[in-house]
Structure 1
Amino acid sequence: MSLLFWTAAGLMTATVLAYGLFVISLAALLPRRRPTTPAEPLPATLLITAHNEEGCIADKLANALAQNVAPHRLSVVVVSDGSSDRTAAIARSMADPRVRVIETAEHAGKIAAMQQALATIRDPVVIFSDANSLFVPGALAALLEHFGDPQVGGVCGALGIARRRSGWLGLAEDLYWRYDNAIKRAEHRLGGAVSAQGSLYAMRRELVGAVPPSVADDFFISTGAVTAGRRLAFEPRAVTIEAVSADARGEFGRRVRSTERGWRALLMRRGLLNPARHGAYALQLLFHKLLRRLVPWMLLALFAASLGLAGEHPFYATALAVQAAIYGLALAVAVFPPLRRIPGSSLVFFAVGSQLAMALGLVRVALGRHSSRWTPVRGAAAPAEHS
């Protein structure tokens, strides 16, 4: 039992804390990578896949068209995936020649709609972005600078959380993405980012092929750069701002689906875990993606070992008591939300809920379950999802 306890504790510490601190510290010793700006920026198409996004599509398009990219270098395609609201009509009302709208007759899912739109795009660079995320000034120009380097196959942006409008859940989400962005910045300096997040990333059109159904499209598409022998860069200036949903139940369901799709995409890209072919990238993928998704099972093993060892030594009894208190507080907040006013309870609830969602996501994959289509979770706004 003691071997199980220390193995679980060691793996969890290495995955959650040690890996991040190691790559951040190592990257600090290296010179900064500066993008090779092309003599003339490559033309790019911004692809926005939307389902019932009438509440945010106008702001999204206005924000995109205001970016400091030459008008003849940027076009926008909005594909409305069987929307039953005014998403397509609002997009057309922008009356800008750079904006093209595609409508699908049925709600076929994000990937199917995206594939339909990609078939019409001829620009050498495709920019992917969620409908509800907004770019900070200069985000797209910073993203496109990297394509002056022929070894760069794709570029991922950074995510910021508008937590002032998102309450207690936004605080925890904000802290998570700050840490994740710091790791991505370090990985970029060490060689390249592991994968992109759907709020903003860009790819060379030639590297975007068919995307299998029911996978995390952002992970699958962005890692296509690595499978092609190119580098995936990270641009910290290419920031998008999102507000997470204030609906904890909706957010939990979103995380279960996201984890399920992430596992499926990771399994399809499992060849990238071969260090003989992909070197340091394989280890980065192992720690940043695979082992991180196994943390819930490490926690379960740690709790089981603590339970079995509690009667043998006060240390293990204390460890069990601490874990029980954490899980008990998370459960209490879930049952009685006003308890989130207790300092630290929001972070505990977010952390435990995230781990439970990841565990359920893997269970769904093991059982062969596939997420059905659903309406995107929205509070003030939430990370856009539909399938």
Structure 2
Amino acid sequence: MPNREPKGHWILLMLAGVALAVALLVNGFASGQMGEGTGGPDGNAGEPPVEATRAGSVLNLADGRLRSARPLPGRIALTFDDGPDPEWTPKLLDVLRKHDARATFFSVGANLAKNPGLARRMIREGHEIGSHTYTHIDMGSAPAWRTRLELDLTQRALAGATGRGTNLVRQPYSSTPSGLTGPQWRAVRAAAEQGYLTVLTDRDTEDWARPGIDKIVERAAGAPGAEAGAQTGRRAGAIVMLHDSGGDRAQTVQGVEAILTRLAGKGYRFTTVSDAIGLPPGNTPAATGDKVIGKALVWGQLGSSWIVGGLALLFSVAAVLTALRLATLLSFARLHARRVRRLRRHRASRDRPAFTPPVSVIVPAYNEEAGIEATVRSLLDSDYPAPIEVIVVDDGSTDRTAEIADSLSYLPGVRLISKRNGGKPSALNAGIAVARADIVVLVDGDTVFQRDTIGNLVAPMANPQVGAVSGNTKVANRGGIIGRWQHIEYVIGFNLDRRMFDVLQCMPTIPGAIGAFRREALASAGGVSDDTLAEDTDLTMAICRGGWRVVYEESALAWTEAPASIRQLWRQRYRWCYGTLQAMWKHRGSLFQGGRSGRFGRRCLPYLAVFQVALPLFAPAVDVFTLYGLYFLDPVELALSWVFFTLLQALAGAYALRLDGEPLRTLWVLPLQQIVYRQLMYLVVIQSLVTALAGVRLRWHTIRRTGTFATSPTAETAPQVR
């Protein structure tokens, strides 16, 4: 098995992040969130010439001279803006096919890329497609480069979807020639320089406002001479503006049906804009290069749309799972608190003496000179009435750990065992082998106990079915922001989880800082294994699978020194996470077993897989989507969602702190924890999973101690919980 930790995946992860960011930006741009809007008129644009406002509805400035055209008598060009839309465009195409009518669709390029099948159907059924820009920008207020980009992208999207190009354009927010503004006239000239004919309208139905079917039909039919210049009579040709996207278009569909039914009997022919003014078709075969680029654009747009859709789904799933987890944890925490109160009342009402057997405490120590004396003295400074044996196992330390421990051997019950460095499991097994008591307490060398900790920790073992007890680990060095973050995590995360696991009888981990074990339970598990880097998790799972009950005793407090720097925190959590993955894999067989082993596996392992592996693994993508949503979706909605879940976690945290007797003022760091600390833990999970999949045998990571308890020889000066 290789020993080198993988590094290349960070490069792949960065590349994936860049690709994801590009996809989101593409989708955000295509969704019209980067510049859509009317923007207001340009005061320097001037007014359009009078002849333009009185011209026909199709403008041609190819050689700089204004020429215009109107539909021929008896020809009506129905035009549809803003599509294609997967819901409404097919319905309109069905109506047109039913009446053997042709139309012109001024399509948004991004919608063409999203719905290439609809674009091909339009061409196949004899319709015409014009450009309506790529993201529905106001061409009059947009800078020249943006206008060129929008028109070019739309051409590419059309070429990629249908293999055709177009020479027709309709500006978003435009209407009849008489309504031309100065900025729109400037945009007409700019479009002409790129070879486009600008198509306005003779009759604007304003169907986007949903005025009613009768109004839509009345405006489409028009009045003799209205918006038709010199043409008069009932068979005057016209270009009619409608919409096939942008909202509910049910009235438009019904209105088109009524228009075709009413006017077709009067000798009108419904055709495309090009045919209506007597020009060749506006859609011509695109160049090969445009088709290739267009295909890439279409697939890129579709891919980015699928990614955003997937992220939105992932965001929803993560939100639901997070809410369910919090609700579940709080429910079980309340049930656990009730059970604890009943159990304590039951113990107090019994006449039997308290369960106080002799105890052996094993303290594995490797380079723990900063805190080993405080640890040993706190164990001896106990109000536990039975004998306590303290065995310090020096695992080949290179500092003064052995010297300090040996200097304490004059104290009653203190023993020192020195051995070659072999790792924490071997040190624990060495201590267990020489321990005299049947109840063994395992303690880290950077941890101090309170005076009543051992008594509270051992008390649940009065029940002969209990094979091990988890204590309540507290962060002692919580003065800095990193310490406060870990304090919040210990109280809200770890201890709430343990309350639930206790109720469900599927405890996965007794922390190395504080745990009590029956010697018989340890023997049934084969001792402390070195198969994983999370020896405490591996041991606890093995004991659970052996049929023993493992419980959580919240009143058995142990104060431990948490990592004080980001680097040290990373090393610790990397080891924990990697070791937990190893333990889950080692004990996966419990999922398919019966009895208590199967109950443990089916209750615990799926929970760990979902909430400690899968959810953190995909959480960075959810966070990226949140940032995307703040820019391109409804920022208020997403901000409210974030505030809601932060408040939900704060409420859960307040309840957890209350259960632990901790002050609520610590919650002020929770919002910042969601932004910084949580992301660090996600990266730890990713690194651990990649390491595990690569088959790497991770080295044991030691944490440099800062000596939190160096000036506190007993637990009396440790922070106290009310």
Deviations 1:90-129 (A, max 9, x none): 1121112411111113x22111222222222342111111
SS of the equivalent of 1:32 reads: helix
Match of 1:65 among 380, 388, 410: 380
How far is the alpha carbon of 1:20 from its aligned partner?
A: 1.4
Contact kept, 8 Å, 1:54 with 1:87, in 2: the verdict is yes
Match of 1:20 among 326, 329, 350: 329
Deviations 1:182-206 (A, max 9, x none): 3423543554644211110011112
Deviations 1:137-196 (A, max 9, x none): 2000111111111110100000111244x4001111111111132342354355464421
How far is the alpha carbon of 1:242 from its aligned partner?
A: 1.9
Greater shift in the superposed pair: 198-207 or 281-290: 281-290
- Are the structure 2 counterparts of residues 343 and 287 from structure 1 closer, same or farther at C-alpha, using a change threshold of 3 Å? closer
Q: In the alignment, which residue of structure 1 is the partner of 2:556?
A: 238
TM-score normalized by structure 1? Answer: 0.81
- Are the structure 2 counterparts of residues 207 and 293 from structure 1 closer, same or farther at C-alpha, using a change threshold of 3 Å? same
Deviations 1:48-81 (A, max 9, x none): 100011111111111101112235x321111111
CA–CA distance in structure 1, aligned partners of residues 631 and 569 of structure 2:
38
Greater shift in the superposed pair: 110-119 or 248-257: 110-119
- Are the structure 2 counterparts of residues 39 and 18 from structure 1 closer, same or farther at C-alpha, using a change threshold of 3 Å? closer
Contact kept, 8 Å, 1:246 with 1:380, in 2: the verdict is no
Contact kept, 8 Å, 1:275 with 1:281, in 2: the verdict is no
Greater shift in the superposed pair: 115-124 or 251-260: 115-124
SS of the equivalent of 2:695 reads: coil
Q: Give the counterpart letter for 2:464 in structure 1.
A: P
Q: In the alignment, which residue of structure 1 is the partner of 2:544?
A: 226
Match of 2:572 among 240, 251, 254: 254
Structure 2: gaps (5+ residues): 1-309, 647-667, 710-722
Q: Give the counterpart letter for 2:616 in structure 1.
A: P
Q: In the alignment, which residue of structure 2 is the partner of 1:46?
A: 361
Q: Give the counterpart letter for 2:617 in structure 1.
A: W
Q: In the alignment, which residue of structure 2 is the partner of 1:33?
A: 343
Greater shift in the superposed pair: 372-381 or 210-219: 372-381
CA–CA distance in structure 2, aligned partners of residues 118 and 251 of structure 1:
29
Match of 1:120 among 415, 430, 434: 434
The alignment status of 1:173 with 2:490, answered yes or no, reads no
Q: In the alignment, which residue of structure 2 is the partner of 1:297?
A: 617
Q: Give the counterpart letter for 1:302 in structure 2.
A: V
Q: In the alignment, which residue of structure 1 is the partner of 2:445?
A: 131
Match of 1:285 among 590, 600, 604: 604
Match of 1:361 among 661, 679, 688: 688
Contact kept, 8 Å, 1:156 with 1:197, in 2: the verdict is yes
How far is the alpha carbon of 1:305 from its aligned partner?
A: 6.6
Match of 1:11 among 309, 316, 321: 321
CA–CA distance in structure 2, aligned partners of residues 137 and 90 of structure 1:
22
Q: In the alignment, which residue of structure 1 is the partner of 2:370?
A: 55
CA–CA distance in structure 1, aligned partners of residues 595 and 622 of structure 2:
34
The alignment status of 1:182 with 2:512, answered yes or no, reads no
- Are the structure 2 counterparts of residues 41 and 64 from structure 1 closer, same or farther at C-alpha, using a change threshold of 3 Å? same
Name the structure, 1 or 2, with higher relative contact order (CA <8 Å, separation 6+).
1
CA–CA distance in structure 2, aligned partners of residues 356 and 342 of structure 1:
20
Contact kept, 8 Å, 2:444 with 2:514, in 1: the verdict is yes
Q: In the alignment, which residue of structure 2 is the partner of 1:336?
A: none
Q: Give the counterpart letter for 1:170 in structure 2.
A: G
Match of 1:215 among 517, 520, 533: 533
Contact kept, 8 Å, 1:77 with 1:101, in 2: the verdict is yes
Q: Give the counterpart letter for 1:21 in structure 2.
A: L
CA–CA distance in structure 2, aligned partners of residues 11 and 276 of structure 1:
28
Match of 1:266 among 584, 590, 596: 584
Q: Give the counterpart letter for 1:69 in structure 2.
A: Y
How far is the alpha carbon of 1:254 from its aligned partner?
A: 1.5
How far is the alpha carbon of 1:273 from its aligned partner?
A: 4.0
CA RMSD of aligned residues (A): 3.4
TM-score normalized by structure 2? Answer: 0.45
CA–CA distance in structure 2, aligned partners of residues 149 and 82 of structure 1:
38
Deviations 1:277-334 (A, max 9, x none): 3476445414653322222223145357779999996479948x97xxx9xxxxxxxx
- Are the structure 2 counterparts of residues 113 and 28 from structure 1 closer, same or farther at C-alpha, using a change threshold of 3 Å? closer
CA–CA distance in structure 1, aligned partners of residues 399 and 423 of structure 2:
16
How far is the alpha carbon of 1:232 from its aligned partner?
A: 0.6
CA–CA distance in structure 2, aligned partners of residues 367 and 189 of structure 1:
36
Q: Give the counterpart letter for 1:195 in structure 2.
A: T
CA–CA distance in structure 2, aligned partners of residues 362 and 368 of structure 1:
10
- Are the structure 2 counterparts of residues 112 and 27 from structure 1 closer, same or farther at C-alpha, using a change threshold of 3 Å? closer
Q: Give the counterpart letter for 1:126 in structure 2.
A: V
- Are the structure 2 counterparts of residues 235 and 318 from structure 1 closer, same or farther at C-alpha, using a change threshold of 3 Å? closer
Contact kept, 8 Å, 1:195 with 1:232, in 2: the verdict is no
- Are the structure 2 counterparts of residues 38 and 193 from structure 1 closer, same or farther at C-alpha, using a change threshold of 3 Å? farther
Greater shift in the superposed pair: 31-40 or 111-120: 31-40
CA–CA distance in structure 1, aligned partners of residues 337 and 371 of structure 2:
39
- Are the structure 2 counterparts of residues 27 and 99 from structure 1 closer, same or farther at C-alpha, using a change threshold of 3 Å? closer
Q: In the alignment, which residue of structure 1 is the partner of 2:389?
A: 75
Contact kept, 8 Å, 1:38 with 1:147, in 2: the verdict is no
**Superposition map of 1:99-110 within 5 A:** 99-105=414-420, 107-110=421-424
Q: Give the counterpart letter for 1:285 in structure 2.
A: C
CA–CA distance in structure 1, aligned partners of residues 428 and 703 of structure 2:
16
CA–CA distance in structure 2, aligned partners of residues 110 and 126 of structure 1:
16
Contact kept, 8 Å, 2:372 with 2:445, in 1: the verdict is yes
Match of 2:476 among 144, 154, 162: 162
Deviations 1:350-378 (A, max 9, x none): 21111211221122111112222443232
Q: In the alignment, which residue of structure 1 is the partner of 2:260?
A: none
Contact kept, 8 Å, 1:46 with 1:77, in 2: the verdict is yes
Contact kept, 8 Å, 2:361 with 2:441, in 1: the verdict is yes
CA–CA distance in structure 2, aligned partners of residues 271 and 114 of structure 1:
26
Greater shift in the superposed pair: 243-252 or 268-277: 268-277
Q: Give the counterpart letter for 1:109 in structure 2.
A: G
CA–CA distance in structure 1, aligned partners of residues 338 and 330 of structure 2:
13
CA–CA distance in structure 2, aligned partners of residues 259 and 362 of structure 1:
8
How far is the alpha carbon of 1:262 from its aligned partner?
A: 1.3
Q: In the alignment, which residue of structure 2 is the partner of 1:87?
A: 401
